[in-house]
Amino acid sequence: MYNILISDPLNQEGIEPLLKAKDVKVDIETGLKPEKLQQVISDYHALLVRSQTQVSADIINAGNNLKVIGRAGVGVDNIDLKAATQKGIMVLNAPEGNTISAAEHTFAMMMAVARNIPQAYKSLVGGEWNRKAFQGAELNRKVIGIIGLGRIGAEVAKRAKVFNMKVIAYDPFLTKERAAKLGIEKGELDEVIAAADFITVHTPLTQETKHLLNSEKLNKMKDGVRIINCARGGIINEDDLYDAIKDGKVAGAAIDVFENEPAVGHPLLTLPQVIATPHLGASTAEAQKNVAVDVSEGILKVLHDQPFRNI
């Protein structure tokens, strides 16, 4: 028998592959304190998380029977990969299941920030009928700069083209052929940020991408640029973004992800030009089912010594 611990809320239908497996016992214990998780983890062969559980080196090192950690989603920044590798524990993620949801959320955020929809809604439910304060901007014929043209960036590009936007992307791994196939332009980072009316980031958070957009880069952008981050907090320097909005350089920002989450009370949230959601990019029924199925199937493969793909 294999014992599996699910320590974050996951889509029930998505974990059916695990629940149906004959040689598996699944415990669902969400909201465990790190010390408690560290105490119980040696009872388990697999740990399945979303993004809340911080799978630290202490937890990994206490996992004496742990063979695999599954992350129902893309980013694995909540898992200490080095500690897992050192202990010979596989780490699986589900890189594809939430691509469309994250791309759609990015687009929804871009449209909402372009037309001040959250601000206008707040004003109206507050008892005002103010048609002057919320004049927005069209997407039509505007330039969108996409930084990171992987799965989500490419889906955003496709949607932007349908809205008649000119798409220019920066990604060190983007080939001319792929850019041509997608009908977009490829540029260096500084070229992309100087040309764009809307800038959206879709890279992972790494040492190279941490604070990729900082005051130096913000100064090179067009006046009145609008910025969207539905990737990872920390890719944009939040203090520098705050200053650039205050100075009037940046007309608006749409932020789904923050450097430290939960980001309740964050200074950016005090600015009327900022719209935000609490890390909802992948929060659709479809995406949550997809990622839970993908990672559940992956975990079973690892436990049964079948071929699998790890990161």
Q: Residue 46 or residue 231: which is nearer to ligand NAD going by CB?
A: 231
Identify whether the C-beta of residue 272 lies closer than 8 Å to the C-beta of residue 120: no
Residues in contact with ligand NAD, counted by CB under 6 A, come to a total of 31
279 tagged catalytic: yes
Strand partners, 226: 198, 252
Of 59-78, which residues contact ligand NAD (CB under 6 A)? 74-75
**Alpha carbon distance 237, 202 (integer Å):** 15
User: Considering CB distances under 5 to 8 angstroms, the limit depending on partner class, which of ligand NAD, ligand MLT, none binds residue 50?
Assistant: ligand MLT
159 touching ligand NAD, by CB under 6 A: no
Burial bucket for residue 215 (CB in 10 Å: 0-12, 13-18, 19+): middle
Residues in contact with ligand NAD, shown as a per-residue x/- string from 196 to 215 under the rule CB under 6 A: ------xxxx--xx------
Q: Residue 151 or residue 249: which is nearer to ligand NAD going by CB?
A: 151
Which residue shows structure tokens 């941490």?
210
Identify whether the C-beta of residue 33 lies closer than 8 Å to the C-beta of residue 53: no
261 tagged catalytic: yes
Residues in contact with ligand NAD, shown as a per-residue x/- string from 12 to 51 under the rule CB under 6 A: ----------------------------------------
Q: Residue 123 or residue 284: which is nearer to ligand MLT going by CB?
A: 284
The one catalytic residue among 216, 261, 304, 309:
261
Dihedral over alpha carbons 37, 40, 43, 45 (to 10 degrees): 0
DSSP string, 49-77: E-SSS-B-HHHHHH-TT--EEEESSS--T
SS3 for 251?
strand
| Side chain identity at residue 197, one-letter code | D
Q: Residue 171 or residue 238: which is nearer to ligand NAD going by CB?
A: 171
In the bound complex, what is the minimum distance in angstroms from residue 282's beta carbon to ligand MLT?
3
In the bound complex, what is the minimum distance in angstroms from residue 234's beta carbon to ligand MLT?
12
Residue numbers at the binding site for ligand MLT (CB under 6 A) = 50-51, 73-75, 98, 279, 281-282
Q: What are the E-state strand segments in the chain? A: 2-6, 24-28, 46-49, 68-71, 90-93, 143-147, 166-170, 185-186, 198-201, 225-229, 250-255, 274-276
Chosen residue from 15, 102, 193, 221 binding ligand NAD by CB under 6 A: 102
Token pair belonging to 269: 């949230």
User: Considering CB distances under 5 to 8 angstroms, the limit depending on partner class, which of ligand NAD, ligand MLT, none binds residue 204?
Assistant: ligand NAD
Q: Residue 102 or residue 157: which is nearer to ligand NAD going by CB?
A: 102
Q: Which residues are catalytic?
A: 232, 261, 279
Q: Contact residues for ligand NAD (CB under 6 A)?
A: 74-75, 95, 98-99, 102, 147-153, 170-173, 202-205, 208-209, 230-232, 256-257, 279, 281-282
